Amino acid sequence: MHVYAAALAQELGIKPEQVDRTLALHEEGGTVPFIARYRKEATGGLDEVQIQSILDKATERAELDGRRDTILRSIEEQGKLTPELSKALQAARTRAELEDLYLPYKPKRRTRAAIAREKGLEPLADLVWKQEGQRGENLDARVKPYVSADKGVADVAQALAGARDICAERVAEDAKLRREARDLCTRRGTLRSDVVPAKKGETTKFENYYGHEEPLSQAPSHRVLALLRGEEEGVLKVKLGLPDDEVKGLFTGRVVTRPQSLFAGELRAAVEDGWDRLMGPSLESELRAELKERADKGAIGVFGENLRHLLLAAPAGARAVLALDPGLRTGIKLVMLDATGTVVETTTLYSERSADERARAAKLLEAVVRKHKPELIAVGNGTGSREAEVFTRDTLKAMGVQVPVVSVSEQGASIYSASEVAREEFPELDVSLRGAVSIGRRLQDPLAELVKIDPKSIGVGQYQHDVDQGLLKKKLGEVVDSCVNAVGVDVNTASPQLLEHVSGVGPSLAKKLVAHRAAKGRFTTRRELLKVSGLGPKTFEQAAGFLRVRGPEPLDSSAVHPERYTVVERMAKDLGVDVASLVGNAALVRQIEAKRYLGPELGELTLKDILAELEKPSRDPRGDFTAHATRDDLRTLEDVKEGMVLQGVVTNVTAFGAFVDVGVHQDGLVHVSQLAARFIKDPSEVAKVGDRLTVKVLSVDLARKRLALSVRAVLEGGAPQPSGRPAQAKPASAPVQQQRPAQKPATQAPPQKKPEPFNNPFSKLKR
């Protein structure tokens, strides 16, 4: 049994055997997607989130143990390690407990207490600490022996000051007192912010936080990060309000046990100094760091969920797409992509310069449409997008041609267009045209295209540039890996950027796969993957189930792992058919007597997955694509009026609400209190990136370019709803995605106002 198995099982609420097997599989080279998908019997059916939690917690414990060993060695080298201290260090379960115990022994700069010790005042400090003597004794007489001009102690006052410094440091370094103070400050502390004097009277985006105060324990992630950003920009002063009087009262009661003693007053002063000068500022820094860490984790969690839903948006698939990257001054960059995403024509349309230019642009667009017959037209949603959409629709209408025009998020497209990846893909194309290619391909397959962009640049988080970048990179990498492996990858068409996220592959091997493909031709079977340099049996085991190969072997294009092919062959033989006839034949699959194939090597969980895959092989979990239409009469924020009921697409979900694109460049905010007719604590309960919402306009602030929207007002006002459910229609990836079937809401709503709930088809990945 793994050394951490029992403790982690208790912490996570699962069985020790599950933790033990998960850690063993990981140590053998198993990736999270592989373990979750193909080793369900070993883990007891743990999902990706649970497996990742086990690995993260194990890493944390290993780091804690490493720090513990370092501290033990340091104290032992000082000759100060006692059995009691060693036992306390071994029993510490958090980094804070360890550091509190280590604090008195930690090498530090020359402090006031250290200087006092050098002057020989430690014995006097012991008298003060032990509260020797009775009230009424001659204090000067007890202290005078410690006065020494040679040692720099000129008089009784200096001697007592030095003794107080030593006692103050003892208070500040007492692990028990520090723990009690931390607990009290965590419960009773506040987070405060105010405008810096130099910015008073100025209009800033942080005005809501002037004179702001709230309990430290309740400060939400987004507000903490907003305050810290305001401080970073020199607008706010942020401080923790700690319960100083309560802490000093607590400490005095713990330390000053003989209030009638001769040195009680000196010790009381030392206690207060120990808090005010030493422990208080230190704990404020520590709590502030913990607050930032907590806020970072919250924001990163939000970003990860948003990214997951964006990556798992429904693809338009193998359709010819005309992609437009709008620009008012520089023109509309046009790229025609065939069904495989290959660029077949490019040009620039100047539709906003003059009537003549607009007419010429219309003729160019008409020629491209008639020549290539696109099935979809993708328009980037940046500056000039509404103008480009209207121009395109007008041109199509004049032609008498109907082609769906879809608004597509172009967040990060400019970064991609200037990247090394884009230069390698399209060395002959101008940077601006590469951006149009990215927009079009995002419509064809969002996942395949978005993996080429740094997730931080996709713009579906909150304060992503302010959070811990190491944690952010780790989380986003996990999300991308999870999504890529959930969908599966066609090894013969995938880019290196997509392949590198496949279980067991990585960047180096991904390039080798592409190079082998280019040199030797397409792969015809999964077994041919073993011919690639660097792809051995272990990597094949990890990757094969997620790599799709369309060829003579029908199972190679499914999620059935090659190690289970023999089982499927037995099933087909028992039914009197070949494997090709079984795969995809739901009626035949339902005739399989599942219990016949159970055994030591194959349990119910894996068998269930195999049967589901045989019934619907190569199914795409992302759902069906549907285009989202916008109103032609809305082009700018000025066109939006209070009271309007509009349909829009969720572009971002934060801790305080959801941002919705209603087609006017400026996303509107649906505050968490306006997302449903029932109480919602977390916006992600009812809104996901790509969802379509019917919203009512609450207010339009042209000066600050802010748009306040409400789903709740629509529900309570009885406004017309899109087909099938109130206030929500089929989701779209930024802006197109699949529809999610309904499920029971997380909390009960009033019967007369109960909105139909959301359901996530990938909930198994999130549990």
What pLDDT, in 10s, does the model give residues 14-52?
999 999 999 999 999 999 999 999 999 999 999 999 999
Q: Are strands 321-325 and 376-380 parallel, antiparallel or unpaired?
A: parallel
Residues 442 and 337 in one domain: yes
**Residue 30 placed within a domain:** yes
Q: Is residue 762 part of a domain?
A: yes
Paired tokens of 665? 């460049």
At residue 722 the predicted structure's pLDDT band, cuts being 50, 70 and 90, is very low
Give mean pLDDT, residues 47-65.
Answer: 96
Q: Which of 98-107, 323-332, 358-367 has the lowest mean pLDDT?
A: 323-332
173-209 residue pLDDT tens? 999 999 999 999 999 999 999 999 999 988 888 998 9
Q: Which two tokens stand for residue 57?
A: 């917690």
642 and 611 both lie in a single domain: no
Last residue of a domain, one of 23, 48, 83: 83
pLDDT of the residue at 383? 81
Same domain, 589 and 683: no
CB 451 within 8 A of CB 505: no
The answer as to whether 595 is a domain residue is yes
- The residues pairing with 547 across neighbouring beta strands, listed in sequence order, are 489
Q: Is 267 helix (H, G, I), strand (E, B) or coil?
A: helix
Lowest mean per-residue pLDDT among 247-261, 378-392, 528-542, 707-721:
707-721
Strand 547-548 versus strand 489-490 pairing type: parallel
For residues 275-303, give the mean pLDDT. 94
Q: Which of 130-134, 185-189, 192-196, 721-725 has the lowest mean pLDDT?
A: 721-725
Q: Are residues 528 and 437 part of one domain?
A: no
User: Hey, what are 548's tokens?
Assistant: 């799709």
Contacts of 201 (CB under 8 A, 6+ apart): none
Average pLDDT over residues 634-658: 88
Give the orientation angle of helix 565-575 with respect to helix 604-615, to 10 degrees: 60
- Percentage of the residues of the chain whose pLDDT score is greater than 90: 72
Last residue of a domain, one of 14, 48, 83: 83
Q: What is the pTM of this model?
A: 0.83
Q: What does the alpha-carbon distance between residue 279 and residue 285 come to, in Å, rounded to a whole number?
A: 10
Q: Which of 31-35, 307-311, 401-405, 626-630 has the highest mean pLDDT?
A: 31-35
Residues 537 and 591 in one domain: yes
CB 685 within 8 A of CB 743: no
CA angle, corner 401, sides to 395 and 406, nearest 5? 70
* Cα–Cα distances in angstroms (integers) from residue 430 to residues 340, 352, 385, 620, in the given order: 21, 21, 20, 34
**pLDDT at residue 550, rounded to an integer:** 94
Q: Is the pLDDT of residue 137 over 80?
A: yes
User: CA–CA separation, 353 vs 331, rounded Å?
Assistant: 9
pLDDT in tens, 663-709: 787 889 999 999 998 998 889 889 998 888 999 999 999 888 889 99
Q: Are residues 608 and 643 in the same domain?
A: no
The reply to whether 368 and 444 lie within a common domain is: yes
Amino acid (one-letter) located at 547: L
Residues 587 and 663 in one domain: no
Tell me what pLDDT residue 718 has. 58
At 735, is the secondary structure helix, strand, or coil?
coil
Q: What is the DSSP letter of 754?
A: -
Q: Do 603 and 655 belong to one domain?
A: no
Number of domains, the chain? 4
Q: Which of 554, 585, 615 is the last residue of a domain?
A: 615
For the chain, give the mean pLDDT. Answer: 89
Residues 564, 653, single domain; the answer is no
**326 assigned to some structural domain:** yes
Residues 605 and 543 in one domain: yes
DSSP code string of 519-561: HH----SGGGGGGSTT--HHHHHHHGGGEE--SS-GGGGSS--
622 falls within a domain: no
Domain-embedded: residue 646 = yes
Judgement on whether residues 75 and 23 belong to the same structural domain of the protein: yes
The whole-number pLDDT of residue 556 equals: 96
d(CA 184, CA 515): 61
Domain that holds residue 516: 506-615
Taking the mean position of all CA atoms in its chain, how far away is CA 378? 28
Q: Is residue 268 part of a domain?
A: no
> Does residue 690 belong to any structural domain of this protein?
yes
